[in-house]
Structure 1
Amino acid sequence: MESLVDEDAALRAQLQELVADEITFKTQEAVLMADAARSEVDLRRKLREEHDKLIRMRDELAAEAVSLQAELESVKARCEKTLRDRTNKRNDLDRDGEKRKKYEARTHRLQRQIAEMRGTAPSSSDTPKRNRTPSPPAVPKTKRAKSVRSSVVR
């Protein structure tokens, strides 16, 4: 009987140890679950902050893209206007050049006709049909003037 009592006491002690171990385990499990929950909350908060930050950056970049697009359109419009203006100016110069050539040709014909009427120029059949303006008379080259420095007495 004593052995049964000893065995019963040993089993009770073992049972108490198991209960204490289970309580410790449950306590540690609860602590770990609370830590995990806090970590999850912290991670979700950080994730939300990063998400909000990325959304703000996206919005800023979108606004900057709109601004740059407007600036690009403005520059493009200025370039197109400059190109149109230059093209128009070139066309005007081309037209003016054509008008000048026609005017010079008409003037030359009139001068020739006047000279023929006076009898001082060959007939129009003898002259070539080119519209050519006469070159200016040759001017003799003069010596260059002495520089002021060389004429100063030292």
Structure 2
Amino acid sequence: MLPNSRGTLDPKTVVRRLRIIFAVMFVSLCLYPYPVVFLRLHGVGDTYPNHTAQTGILAAGMLTGAVVLYLRFVRIPDLFSSAEPTNRQVLAARALTYYILCYVFSEATALFGFVLAFMRADSRYYVPLYIAGMLLMVVCYPRLPSSDSI
């Protein structure tokens, strides 16, 4: 993200950029089921991962989901609830960083499910991770306080 001519980020520009990034990443999440369905219909082989690998990848996906929830419901609200006055551009830059991290970890949660699907894991392992990634992405839709408070 390039700063404007004064070397700062405009909050309205940040929100616009966040919405574009959100839309692109959400559309990519919506495309994940197509190769999985193709794989299931045409099959690539009958190899199945062991239960330890399935459980490990599931745990990693759950951990990334927890990181998203922490960022979205702890770190982002803390930015705007600070008692001390903070520069609007600094808040916008920090919010940009936190939201992008939320998107990355939401996508990672779904990708762990995608990996399990390609490993021919049981659907009870990969479907919850994919759904969780989608829901986390929706929860992380960019919402900044009104321009008066930032």
Q: TM-score, normalised by structure 1?
A: 0.26
Max radius of gyration: which structure? 1
Comparing both structures, which one devotes a greater share of its residues to helix? 1
Q: Which has the higher contact order (CA 8 A, sep 6+)?
A: 2
Q: TM-score, normalised by structure 2?
A: 0.26
